[in-house]
């Protein structure tokens, strides 16, 4: 059984190890988000993210299988004209660092996390979730589309860790 819950300071060592492993494992994956451990994400950024809406998926042994973070307010790298759903800054949640460990892939963990994150975003007063998928990651594009996210626009973003890249911007309208 998979349990979803908010991550806390006591989870931090497991969260850091999970994301470090996710970054290290990218070399074995055909598709990946191209994260760079120590830049995006880093131990410091993960610790700071515990103040955001940071949700984890755990198995019965309390092993972290997957995680994702929501922050409130628009990402300054996203062009405002990209979005179809009108929202003020405090009504926007941004999804970051959605990841599922290799052993848990294909078991519905990512879709379960997205469902939990949608609920948490609603509870936080958001009416829309925005996110980006770096070019060349069709499984991520398919995951978001399967879960009701709409492609809003293709853009070029200057990522801190991998530089200037094309990306797809997605949005999901949270129905009240």
* pLDDT higher than threshold 90 for residue 12: yes
Q: What is the pLDDT of residue 34?
A: 82
Q: What pLDDT is recorded for position 145?
A: 97
Cα–Cα distance measured from residue 9 to residue 102, given in angstroms and rounded to the nearest whole number: 24
Please compute the mean of the pLDDT values over residues 170-174 and round it to a whole number.
Answer: 98
Instruction: Compute how many other C-beta atoms are within 10 angstroms of the C-beta atom of residue 105.
Output: 14
The pLDDT assigned to 136 comes to 86
pLDDT of residue 28: 83
| pTM score, whole prediction | 0.93
The pLDDT, as a whole number, for residue 79 is: 92
The predicted structure's pLDDT at residue 20: 96
Mean of pLDDT values over 80-92: 95
Q: Which helix (H) or strand (E) holds 83?
A: none
Summarize pLDDT for 96-127 with one digit per residue, the tens. Answer: 999 999 989 999 999 999 999 999 999 999 99
Residue 51 phi, psi (nearest 5):
-80, -15
């Amino acid at each position: 059984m998979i349990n979803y819950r908010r991550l806390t300071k006591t989870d931090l060592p497991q969260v850091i190890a999970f994301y470090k492993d996710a970054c290290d494992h990218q070399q074995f994956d055909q598709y990946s988000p191209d994260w760079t451990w120590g830049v995006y994400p880093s131990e410091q950024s993960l610790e700071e993210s515990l103040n955001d809406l940071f949700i984890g998926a755990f198995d019965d042994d309390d092993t972290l299988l997957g995680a994702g973070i929501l922050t409130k307010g628009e990402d300054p790298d996203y062009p405002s004209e990209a979005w179809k759903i009108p929202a003020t800054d405090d009504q926007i949640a941004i999804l970051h660092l959605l990841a599922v460990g290799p052993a848990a892939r294909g078991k519905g963990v990512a879709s379960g996390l997205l469902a939990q994150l949608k609920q948490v975003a609603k509870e936080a007063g958001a009416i829309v979730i925005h996110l980006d998928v770096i070019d060349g990651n069709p499984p991520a594009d398919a995951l978001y589309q399967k879960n009701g996210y709409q492609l809003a626009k293709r853009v070029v973003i200057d990522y801190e860790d991998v530089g200037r890249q094309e990306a797809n911007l997605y949005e999901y309208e949270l129905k009240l």
